[in-house]
Amino acid sequence: MREVFTAARTDTALALLLAGTDPEELGAAGIIERAEYVRLLALGCTPSLAAQILFEGAGKAGGWRSEDPAFARACDAAGELGAGRSAPARSPRFTPERRRAFLDHLEAGLSVTAAAAEVGITTAVVYQRRKRDAAFAAAVDTAHQARPRTPDTTPNADEWEAFFAHLRPGVALRQAALAAGIRPEAVYHRRRADRAFARRTDQHRTVR
């Protein structure tokens, strides 16, 4: 049973089963997604970041909050818990120098995701900048037309091992991914799709 309990720390479906709910029944997926969202808030993620990690947008979580007062209260409480933690290191700013380097990578043929990773930012930062900066949006569009796009590649086994070599307590998933030359979005996607991978990343961040 101890092994089962240990596995349930990182396996939300197993925890749901231990709580007496069949994780395969209708509606269980929504329960698991809500639990993961609240967990990220408690870890200090902002609502927008938690939504980007899990859902690639804030629409789903926002709908849950408006429809379910209990879920909204849980989110607020988790957010207060996360706010009480020591502030993590701030992400690199999208400085004019980084913007210029990002555009240079686009002009060289990289995709938006790959170009963002090259300068140490996420695609969310790029899209947020586009929304509020018309000149930057125009520059991105111009850079896109300069050369055919190079498709993003799936990380190979060596790149994943390099990712784990950089991952340790106090190092964010995003930081380890960028250090290994992997798009952070690829890490988040694999965590959602591969439970064994998610458990391994959690172990590297808690045990050394």
Tell me the CA distances in angstroms from 57 to 2, 145, 208, one per residue in order: 37, 27, 33
Domain membership of residue 25 as a residue range: 2-83
Tell me the CA distances in angstroms from 23 to 27, 34, 40, one per residue in order: 9, 13, 20
- Biggest alpha carbon–alpha carbon distance for the chain: 59
Q: How many residues does this entry show for the chain?
A: 208
* Residues 48, 52, 56, 58, Cα dihedral to 10°: -20
Which of 122, 144, 166 is a domain's end point?
A: 144
Amino acid letter, 65? R
- pTM check: above 0.75: no
- The number of folded domains in the chain is 3
Cβ neighbours around 66 below 10 Å, total: 10
Residues 72 and 7 in one domain: yes
Q: Give the per-residue pLDDT at 88.
A: 47
Q: Give the per-residue pLDDT at 172.
A: 78
Is 151 contained in some domain?
Answer: no
Is 100 contained in some domain?
Answer: yes
Nearest CA among 71, 30, 37, 76 for reference residue 53: 37
Per-residue pLDDT of the chain (208 residues; tens, 9 = 90+): 888 788 777 777 778 778 887 777 767 777 888 888 888 888 888 887 888 888 766 567 777 888 888 888 888 888 777 665 544 445 568 888 889 999 988 888 777 877 888 888 888 888 888 888 899 989 988 887 776 655 556 788 888 998 898 888 877 787 788 778 787 778 888 888 888 898 898 888 776 5
Which of 56, 83, 110 is a domain's end point?
A: 83
